[in-house]
Structure 1
Amino acid sequence: MDEQEGRAAGIDLSRPSAARVYDYFLGGAHNFEVDRRLAAQIAAMTPNLAATMRAGREFLRRAVRTLLDSGVDQFLDIGSGIPTVGNVHEVAQAADPSARIVYVDIDPVAVSHSRELLAGNELTAVLHADLREPDRILAGARESGLIDLTRPVGVLLAGVVHFVPDADRPADLLATLRAAVAPGSFLVVSHSTFEDQPPEMLDAQRLSARTDTEITLRSRAEITGFFGDWTILEPGAVHMPLWRPDLPPDPDERPERFGAFGGVARYDHPGG
């Protein structure tokens, strides 16, 4: 979609979109000049930001593989952005061709491109919805025919909860999602933090205020709280490269520099 098509579709091109900025940093083509300008400003302040985006994607892949190993074959990916190389359906369906994925995003461009990219894949669906409307998301997932909430499901919230301000009660939103799924389900969360961060990283995060989805940085304790009383898998909520890495991390790489914690929790019993 070029900018003329974007205007024709009613997309506000005066403000950048977090999903499209993210797509740009991952090397995608589904972004506009307004997004690229903001991305350039952020990159000038934090030259390793593209690596940070990749670290987030790699954490998500490892988490999805962990869920697959536990027998999960259906995934609800909320705040999915624009599916690019290595996204959830590619990882899941490579291991289990019958795996089903429902993607959810608030950005109409992300949703439009996702539907184009996934055309012909009958085991995927894309919903245009807001994390702040969990009941609507759950209803849409059921109506897709791909998600059976009476069976274990992987609920993925990678890099999205930090776009929900405290005023919108993110803990309550996640509690609604947790309450809707069956025992044996998993919750995956990655979330930006102010802990262990240099001032220039915090300044770059604050540039998100120029998008429609400003980032709220939270502590490890706050992020861990999003799992409720579910069982948090080892090694807990940690800097993303430290969560079950494929290879031992190099301490000289300073995993905290990526500015986000990631964790996975399992629902073992009623009331979790």
Structure 2
Amino acid sequence: MAKRRIAYYLMTIPALFLFFAFHTFPALQGIFYSFTNWDGFSDGYSFVGLKNFINVFKDENVYNAYFFTFKYAIAATILINVISLLIALGLNAKIKAKNFFRSVYFLPNVLGVLIVGYIFNYLFSNAFTIWGAKLGSDFLSQNILGNPDWAWVGIVIVGVWQGIAYNTILYLAGLQTIPADLYEASSLDGASKWREFWSITFPMLASFFTINMVLAMKGGLMIFDQIVALTGGGPGRSTQSIAHLIYTGGFTGGEFAYQSANAVIYFIVIVAISLFQIKVLQRREMDL
């Protein structure tokens, strides 16, 4: 027993050390610097108390970034879950080459986010505009990533296309847990497919729906790579997310301490939203 306990410690302690060194310690450093005026480059700094936190609430760029981030996160979360659930229901049906289609739909999750972003950047700026011109459509012949009013839609398209892969797999796993006897009993009672979905499928997928909603919302709120690859936060600041603002301002704009305060606030916001989602959705699970 003692040797087994020692083995557990030998396996656990290195992992804990690495987690603390590369995650916890940098996070604590960021919290510490958020109370200073350090620019990220110079040697000296001084404490400014809550000044950075107060200035964050006065910054118009921060409000614009929050507006875009929440707009993207809400749209992406809804679309990802609706589309992935429909795909999962289709793949769960008795169709030919089911495993092939599962692999195809999971492929976007394997590809790197930046790679996908740069590919779609080319498509939006070249391929789609050519197709739009051939169709005689003025709207489709323009690069929407260069339009301040429509650039966010392009980012949503890319985020949803890549995000549905993982959620589809989770929904498929949930569908496998539903006993076939329930569907046989409902068919004997003459229930329609729509009634089966609302009375059997969706309630039985409640826990998977909760997980997918939380993960999709968290991923949407932390959007960064797609912004870098597609728009760089532009045109202007119309597609600048909070994560992108923190990165550009903190590491290239000499606002390390200020953006550290912004990051602390945003961390609290993400945690609060995630906990609120879990509480509401779990209560819904019990109601079902």
State the TM-score, normalizing by the size of structure 2. Answer: 0.23
Structure ranking higher in helix proportion: 2
Larger RCO, structures 1/2 (Cα 8 Å, 6+ apart): 2
State the TM-score, normalizing by the size of structure 1. Answer: 0.24
